[in-house]
Amino acid sequence: MALMTPEQFEASLKRLKPKVFMNGKRVPDILQNKNTRTVVEANKASYAWALDPRYREIMTCYSPLVEEVVNRYTYVSASIDDLVKKAEAGTFTAEMLGTCIYRCVGYDAFHALAATTWEMDRDLGTGYRPRFLEYLKMVQREDLSAAGALTEPRGSRSKKIVDWPDPYLALKVVEKNDQGIVVRGAKINISGAYASHELVVLPQGAHSEAEADYAVAFATPTDAPGITYVCQYSPYSAERDQAEDPEELGNPVFGQRETAMVIFDNVFVPWERVFHCGEYQYSGKMVARFARTHRMTCGGTCKVGFMNQIIGACKLIQEYKGLDKVAHINEQLTEMVVLRETGRACGQAAARQGKEEPPGSGVFLPDELMGNVAKLNICEAFWRVMALAGDIGGGLVVTMPSLKELKNPEVKDFMEEFYSFGSDEPTANILKVHKLLQHWTAGQHGVGTWHGAGPPATQRIAIQRTVNFEHEKELVKRTLNLREKEQKEK
């Protein structure tokens, strides 16, 4: 069976030597660093669930490609049922981790590549699709974790790539030879790549012939020569660095959401790993296919899981505070549930209305309209849930002292007395739940949810492109029996 154990996954990461920097220092071992370790733990959990009979149904599936059961995060959806399971997996992994499942962007990139390589081969006679499938077989058989990289540093947004002063603000092919290509540039905000085996790279902004060198998609081992990771570093990273005991933190094991800038300094990619190179007319299609898939995931699946964590914390705090029968708190909890279920409904609709795209390719993608609606809806819904949680949590969410004070002999008893809400609940539990809400409401998740899978303007543009309003106009014409233009002229 093509499934690694969590221990085998960890051992496989030990064999990789990614070049990683954080907080101005080299990270010699991502398995040891307290912040990068959270990504290792999150990916590792995905291996454990795949082998756990309770979660096998959601985390694995049969792949006809390799005729074996594989981890769902290595599989390209071939039916509506696959898309529905994909959506369910997004919610399951998010609520279990309370952070990103770092394999999700790679998973969505596989969908975009499977669809667009098929289309390029059909239209242009390129040989990308069999090449991609060989690569995917390897990923499935070896049960590899893949991160996905699309977002680029970019220059002035009012100019085209070729008019930027630095040609490498978008990832560029700088050499092609018999063996493969060499790329230079960077990708930014890339989730969890240094704790993955593979990095799947898609183009971002190549649209014209002059930008053909930027029309490139490929896969590379994450520790390939020339790749460097410059990790994010936030107050939450510093807090984790300094914590003596992870129990003091809002999400002890899996942390916040870890990303890095990935620098490609003349990285060689052999041809067998290149899936798009110069066919600029197809870059936009690849991005749009990735976007509709990833927006279903980010909008209608993982944020549903995140909301479950927030709602659970609010419900516990309501009970600790003896607010069970207070009408406005119950209304706020109801509102949260409605926002969560609206998010879930959008994700489910995107999956259930999914289509084979392009027809004949065998690849199923979520419905474009609902994929974008799912993400746009959740952008606002998530802020609202955060605001409601802040209200229920009270000021303590941001004013709470360190959990270390519970061990400080000079204030320990006062802590126990004054942060107990006079309840039977252990004070440590009360403070930990507030810390979890701090993590959600005063951490990186608001902006992360807003921008991950693209800011709302990009969803509005996609929706405007998808809906042509012919159906709606026709309805009104029929209802009012409006005359056609020719009739007026007569």
Ligand X SMILES: Cc1cc2nc3c(=O)[nH]c(=O)nc-3n(C[C@H](O)[C@H](O)[C@H](O)COP(=O)(O)OP(=O)(O)OC[C@H]3O[C@@H](n4cnc5c(N)ncnc54)[C@H](O)[C@@H]3O)c2cc1C
The nearer residue to ligand X, 38 or 191, going by C-beta atoms, is 191
Minimum CB–partner distance for residue 290 and ligand X (Å)? 9
46 binds ligand X (CB under 6 A): no
The nearer residue to ligand X, 126 or 196, going by C-beta atoms, is 196
Which one of 215-223, 351-359, 450-458, 471-479 is the stretch in contact with ligand X (CB under 6 A)? 450-458
Amino acid at position 84, single letter:
V
Length of the chain: 490
371 binds ligand X (CB under 6 A): no
Position of tokens 């974008």?
Answer: 372
Closest of 373, 381, 279, 376 to residue 340, by C-alpha: 381
Say how far apart CA 26 and CA 22 lie, in whole Å: 6
Tokens of 231: 């990790």
Residues in 176-235 that interact with ligand X by CB under 6 A: 187, 189-191
Which one of 61-69, 143-151, 172-180, 385-393 is the stretch in contact with ligand X (CB under 6 A)? 143-151
Strand ranges inside 6-118, DSSP E: 19-22, 25-27, 60-63, 68-71
Residues in 245-284 that interact with ligand X by CB under 6 A: 257, 259
Minimum CB–partner distance for residue 67 and ligand X (Å)? 31
311 binds ligand X (CB under 6 A): no
Minimum CB–partner distance for residue 415 and ligand X (Å)? 34
DSSP letters for 317-348: HHHHTT-TT-HHHHHHHHHHHHHHHHHHHHHH
149 binds ligand X (CB under 6 A): yes
Per DSSP, helices labelled H in 231-282 are 235-242
The nearer residue to ligand X, 394 or 455, going by C-beta atoms, is 455
Minimum CB–partner distance for residue 232 and ligand X (Å)? 8
The nearer residue to ligand X, 255 or 432, going by C-beta atoms, is 255
The nearer residue to ligand X, 150 or 277, going by C-beta atoms, is 150
Q: How many residues bind ligand X (CB under 6 A)?
A: 19
Which one of 121-129, 345-353, 422-430, 448-456 is the stretch in contact with ligand X (CB under 6 A)? 448-456
Say how far apart CA 172 and CA 277 lie, in whole Å: 10
Q: What are phi and psi of 343, to 5 degrees?
A: -60, -45
148 binds ligand X (CB under 6 A): yes
Tokens of 363: 């690849």
Amino acid at position 167, single letter:
P
Minimum CB–partner distance for residue 377 and ligand X (Å)? 17
160 binds ligand X (CB under 6 A): no
Minimum CB–partner distance for residue 261 and ligand X (Å)? 11
Per DSSP, helices labelled H in 77-162 are 80-97, 104-124, 128-142
25 binds ligand X (CB under 6 A): no
What is the end-to-end Cα distance of the chain in Å, rounded? 74
Say how far apart CA 464 and CA 287 lie, in whole Å: 16
Angular region, 212: left φ>0, alpha ψ -120 to 50, beta rest: alpha
Which one of 57-65, 72-80, 175-183, 451-459 is the stretch in contact with ligand X (CB under 6 A)? 451-459
Say how far apart CA 483 and CA 466 lie, in whole Å: 28
Amino acid at position 136, single letter:
L
Minimum CB–partner distance for residue 298 and ligand X (Å)? 9
Which one of 26-34, 41-49, 391-399, 453-461 is the stretch in contact with ligand X (CB under 6 A)? 453-461
455 binds ligand X (CB under 6 A): yes
Choose, by CB under 6 A, the member of 93, 145, 151, 441 that binds ligand X: 151
Minimum CB–partner distance for residue 148 and ligand X (Å)? 5
The nearer residue to ligand X, 219 or 400, going by C-beta atoms, is 219
Contact 144, 150 (CB under 8 A): no
Tokens of 180: 């493969």
Which one of 146-154, 162-170, 213-221, 371-379 is the stretch in contact with ligand X (CB under 6 A)? 146-154
Choose, by CB under 6 A, the member of 345, 451, 463, 466 that binds ligand X: 451
SS3 label, residue 231: strand
Minimum CB–partner distance for residue 110 and ligand X (Å)? 14
Residues in 86-125 that interact with ligand X by CB under 6 A: 105
454 binds ligand X (CB under 6 A): yes
The nearer residue to ligand X, 224 or 261, going by C-beta atoms, is 261
Amino acid at position 113, single letter:
L
Cis peptide before 455 (omega within 30 of 0): no
Say how far apart CA 29 and CA 224 lie, in whole Å: 16
**Alpha-carbon distances, residue 309 vs 164, 218, 386, 436 (angstroms):** 43, 36, 11, 9
The nearer residue to ligand X, 95 or 405, going by C-beta atoms, is 95
Tokens of 215: 């029309």
The nearer residue to ligand X, 259 or 308, going by C-beta atoms, is 259
Q: In terms of DSSP bridges, do strands 227-231 and 19-22 run parallel, antiparallel, or are they unpaired?
A: parallel
> Which residue ranges make up the site for ligand X (CB under 6 A)?
105, 148-151, 157, 187, 189-191, 257, 259, 448, 451-455, 457
